[in-house]
Amino acid sequence: MTVTYPFSAVVGLDDLKLALVLNAVSPRVGGVLVRGEKGTAKSTIVRALAAQLPQVEVVSGCRFACDPGAPDPACPDGPHEPGEHRLRRAAALVELPVGASEDRLVGSLDVERALTEGVKAFEPGLLAAAHRGVLYVDEVNLLHDHLVDLLLDAAALGTCYVERESVSVRHAARFLLVGTMNPEEGELRPQLLDRFGLTVEVRASRDPGERAEVVRRRLAFDADPEGFAAEWAEEEARLARRIAEARARVGAVRLPDARLRQIATVCAAFEVDGLRADLVTANAAIAHAAWHGRDAVTTEDVRAAARLSLPHRRRRDPFDAPGLDEELLDELLRQTSGPDDDVPPDGGGGESPPDGTNPDISGLDPAGQERETGATEQTRPGPLAPPEQPEGPGVPTGRREDAGNGGRDADDARPEETGRRSGDGSGQVAAVAAPYRVPLLKVPGVGEGAAGRRSRSRGRHGRGIGARLPQGKAHDIHVTATLLAAAPHQARRGRTGPGLLLRQDDLRQVVREGREGNLVLFVVDASGSMAARKRMTTVKTAVLSLLLDAYQRRDKVGLVTFRGTTAEVPLPPTSSVEAGAARLRALPTGGRTPLAAGLIKAAQVLRVERLRDPARRPLLVLVTDGRATSGGDVDRAAALLHGTASVIVDCETGPVRLGLAAHLAARLQAALVPLDALSDLGSVVRAHRRAG
Ligand SMILES: [Zn+2]
């Protein structure tokens, strides 16, 4: 396999190429999500693949890329007659920019023209342009959630549907969806993650030689893209032919019953939700078989498919690390590889699997690349342990200790004692128990921030609550209000026929109210006064629960901590809860309490964020017992936060209380929430869950 192999100092590159090829072979695989840090040439590789896709034949002049052999009956540019002009062109590669509007993506229906001129005017969007090609979304995790929803709906249905005020247009939109993301900049919601057929993790190689070579090639490529491409043209032509052959074959590939049961067993053992994983794995295995010229799916195909289709589906909450336990996968495949494997692996690899005991499961791409073990190399335990439940069907479970809700109740009662010393030796690290649901904390008033689920907002999204005159070009027309505005003038405008006479100034626009996500900045006291292990576990669990809540409400979150003499920002504002959870778990505690420093640092972070994302309103969540034993005047520091919506989680416990947090809350005009109130609510929720 050779897609852009000049750019190969990337760990996980072979997986990425394979995932893209499987999608090119069978559109049913459902797209690829590429997760990885910056500088891994993700987009170069995707663009290069698009160049390998077979050309498409289209009805000339059709803006919706209709196939002359089978034109879309609903095509807005149709109906197309059989004899119409046709042309061959490259499959499209359409990039969806992160800041695109909804109209840009799905197209825009000009309701204004429909009402005033009686014309159904549809301007196609990027989904139409991407039909029968690739839709590429760089940084898909930074797209607005509603755009991601539209995108994935279209990808799932193969159509784009636009409706505005009961005027609607539908057209075919089948495309290979490829997204990239840097997980450190924010996660996708799990249900959206699930909509990508395959995922691949890539990261830059740490090998200096490889890195230098790639940089050299990139420079050569950038200096002379055409000359560079010519050098690889032959390889690319070979690849394109192979993809075309596999495409022609894929419809005839058999999925033997034994292999289907194998897929079901693997998916069940990895505890994925629903049947989507089984379907994607089956389609990817079929594509993989076609890619290797086989007419029936083998265990090797199942393995290749499962490695790409399962990692993102077995995650139970955002705090689980991604990745797939490949030893478990191999064990499952070994137990279920039946007599249907009459076709031997085509064996170009020439290298035996690591343990040498299982010739059925090569784990190698036939082109001979090594299996990628980067994700598990740290934790590989050596010889494979026997399955935990030898009786019964003998299928080991894919669940890690506390991966799901099932293991959670036990953890709630007895926080796991996984505390350890921090690296710098200057503090201790308290454990974190399972998170619980917290009450809604929100910013008062009405904002205009990004769509989310926390505070009230007015904007283009949400429920319609009224109508108003548009400012500038009208969109989101409120039809009833528009008709009512026009009605009194009909006689004066000389109306005679059945239709209303509408004018521009009759148009009214919907006023919507919804919810916005906020910037939730946690400011956490990590000093010695909080550091008694039990107590810090409670505090960390509360913050983790708030963090999970922020994730579900699509907030941006940041974390400021203070202890000793200074405040730090272990997590600058981001939408990545994973990063926040990781930093929180590892957070050392101990030392004095520089409360003022923490407040000053929080004010600095908020000032920068106000510049970056002015519409997103901040909510400060200060977790403290209110004590300050070092560093600066608390009242003066608190004044810097004047006007910021704040909540203080009061961590003071014990029979004698000083009420210092309450004093601070008065200073900040903050709501005061006792720590117990957060966890009490959590235990109520858990009790309900148990009873139900
Ligand atoms: Zn058409």
Question: What's the gap in Å between 129 CA and the centre of ligand 1?
Answer: 12
Q: In which band, very low, low, confident or very high, does the pLDDT at 102 lie, cut at 50, 70 and 90?
A: confident
* Residue 249 confidence (pLDDT) above 90: yes
* Rounded to 5°, angle at Cα 316 from 314 and 321: 75
In angstroms, rounded to a whole number, what is the distance separating the alpha carbons of residues 379 and 615?
43
Cβ burial of 552 (10 Å; 0-12, 13-18, 19+) is middle
Report helix angle 13-25 to 225-250, nearest 10: 50
Report helix angle 533-552 to 577-585, nearest 10: 180
Question: What's the gap in Å between 63 CA and the centre of ligand 1?
Answer: 7
* Residue 421 confidence (pLDDT) above 70: no
Mean pLDDT over residues 302-330, rounded? 78
Q: Which of 167, 182, 24 lies closest to 479 in space, CA to CA?
A: 167
DSSP 518: -
pLDDT of residue 119: 64
pLDDT of residue 510: 82
Mark out the alpha helices in 364-407 (DSSP H runs). Answer: none
Question: What's the gap in Å between 610 CA and the centre of ligand 1?
Answer: 46
Question: What's the gap in Å between 585 CA and the centre of ligand 1?
Answer: 55
Question: What's the gap in Å between 60 CA and the centre of ligand 1?
Answer: 9
In angstroms, rounded to a whole number, what is the distance separating the alpha carbons of residues 484 and 498?
16
pLDDT digits (tens, 9 = 90+) for 121-131: 788 999 999 99
Q: Give the pair of three-digit tokens for residue 536.
A: 């810090």
Mean pLDDT over residues 402-409, rounded? 36
Of 513 and 311, the one with more pLDDT = 311
pLDDT digits (tens, 9 = 90+) for 31-54: 899 988 776 667 777 777 767 777
Q: Give the pair of three-digit tokens for residue 609.
A: 């964020």
In angstroms, rounded to a whole number, what is the distance separating the alpha carbons of residues 480 and 500?
13
Question: What's the gap in Å between 58 CA and the centre of ligand 1?
Answer: 8
Mark residue 582 as left, alpha or beta (left: phi above 0; alpha: psi -120 to 50; beta: remaining): alpha
Mean pLDDT over residues 559-579, rounded? 83
Lowest mean pLDDT, pick from 151-160, 276-285, 674-683: 674-683
Question: What's the gap in Å between 155 CA and the centre of ligand 1?
Answer: 19
Question: What's the gap in Å between 171 CA and the centre of ligand 1?
Answer: 8
How do 134-137 and 176-181 pair as beta strands? parallel
* Residue 628 confidence (pLDDT) above 60: yes
Q: In which band, very low, low, confident or very high, does the pLDDT at 420 lie, cut at 50, 70 and 90?
A: very low
pLDDT of residue 189: 66
* Residue 190 confidence (pLDDT) above 90: no
pLDDT of residue 289: 97
**Element counts in the chain: helices (H) and strands (E):** 21, 24
pTM over 0.75: no
CB-based contacts of 121-127 (< 8 A; 24+ apart in sequence): 122/76, 122/162, 122/169, 124/63, 124/64, 124/76, 124/171, 125/160, 126/94, 126/96, 126/100, 127/151, 127/154, 127/160, 127/173, 127/175
* Residue 567 confidence (pLDDT) above 50: yes
Q: For 648, phi and psi rounded to 5 degrees?
A: -110, 125
Mean pLDDT over residues 415-440, rounded? 56
pLDDT of residue 155: 75
pLDDT digits (tens, 9 = 90+) for 65-94: 999 988 988 888 878 888 888 999 988 999
* Residue 26 confidence (pLDDT) above 80: yes
pLDDT of residue 600: 94
CB-based contacts of 275-282 (< 8 A; 24+ apart in sequence): 276/194, 276/313, 277/309, 277/310, 277/313, 280/29, 280/30, 280/197, 280/198, 280/305, 280/309, 281/305, 281/306, 281/309, 281/310, 282/255
* Residue 359 confidence (pLDDT) above 50: no
Q: Which residues pair with 421 in a beta bridge?
A: 428
- My answer on whether omega of the bond before 79 falls inside 30° of 0, hence cis, is yes
pLDDT of residue 322: 58
Whether the CB-CB separation of 658 and 574 falls below 8 Å is answered with: no
Q: Exactly one of 28, 104, 170, 276 is catalytic; which is it?
A: 276
In angstroms, rounded to a whole number, what is the distance separating the alpha carbons of residues 577 and 558?
9
Mean pLDDT over residues 370-396, rounded? 35
Whether the CB-CB separation of 535 and 415 falls below 8 Å is answered with: no
pLDDT of residue 391: 36
pLDDT of residue 424: 41
Question: What's the gap in Å between 64 CA and the centre of ligand 1?
Answer: 5
pLDDT of residue 461: 66
Q: Which of 249, 252, 266, 251 lies closest to 361 in space, CA to CA?
A: 266
Question: What's the gap in Å between 557 CA and the centre of ligand 1?
Answer: 45
- Name the one residue in this structure whose structure tokens are 């106000």: 610
* Residue 394 confidence (pLDDT) above 50: no
Percentage of residues of the chain with pLDDT beyond 70: 76
* Residue 225 confidence (pLDDT) above 50: yes
Question: What's the gap in Å between 131 CA and the centre of ligand 1?
Answer: 11
272-281, 411-420, 538-547: which is most confident? 272-281
* Residue 633 confidence (pLDDT) above 70: yes
| Residues 6+ away with beta carbon under 8 Å from 3 | 17, 20, 21, 45, 48, 49, 52, 239
Question: What's the gap in Å between 160 CA and the centre of ligand 1?
Answer: 13
* Residue 204 confidence (pLDDT) above 80: no
Lowest mean pLDDT, pick from 14-23, 51-60, 409-418: 409-418
Distances (CA, A) of 613 to 109, 289, 519, 571, 610: 30, 48, 9, 17, 6
pLDDT digits (tens, 9 = 90+) for 492-548: 888 777 777 888 888 888 887 777 778 889 899 988 877 666 677 877 888 888 888
pLDDT of residue 617: 87
Whether the CB-CB separation of 100 and 146 falls below 8 Å is answered with: no
Question: What's the gap in Å between 77 CA and the centre of ligand 1?
Answer: 5
Enumerate residues with CB within 5 Å of ligand 1 (an ion): 62, 64, 66, 75, 77-78
SS3 for 109?
strand
Report helix angle 299-309 to 276-291, nearest 10: 130
Lowest mean pLDDT, pick from 37-46, 266-275, 298-307: 37-46
Distances (CA, A) of 251 to 26, 27, 128, 283, 296: 9, 12, 26, 11, 11
Q: In which band, very low, low, confident or very high, does the pLDDT at 589 lie, cut at 50, 70 and 90?
A: confident
| 276 labelled catalytic | yes
Mean pLDDT over residues 182-210, rounded? 78
pLDDT digits (tens, 9 = 90+) for 654-676: 766 777 888 889 888 888 888 87
Q: In which band, very low, low, confident or very high, does the pLDDT at 317 lie, cut at 50, 70 and 90?
A: low
In angstroms, rounded to a whole number, what is the distance separating the alpha carbons of residues 248 and 171?
26
Spell 654-691 as b/e; 16+ CB within 10 A means b: eeeeeebbbebbebbebebbebeebbeebeeebeeeee
Lowest mean pLDDT, pick from 276-285, 491-500, 551-560: 491-500
Question: What's the gap in Å between 176 CA and the centre of ligand 1?
Answer: 19
Mean pLDDT over residues 248-262, rounded? 94
Average pLDDT score over the chain: 76
**End-to-end Cα, the chain, rounded Å:** 52
* Residue 439 confidence (pLDDT) above 80: no
pLDDT of residue 59: 93
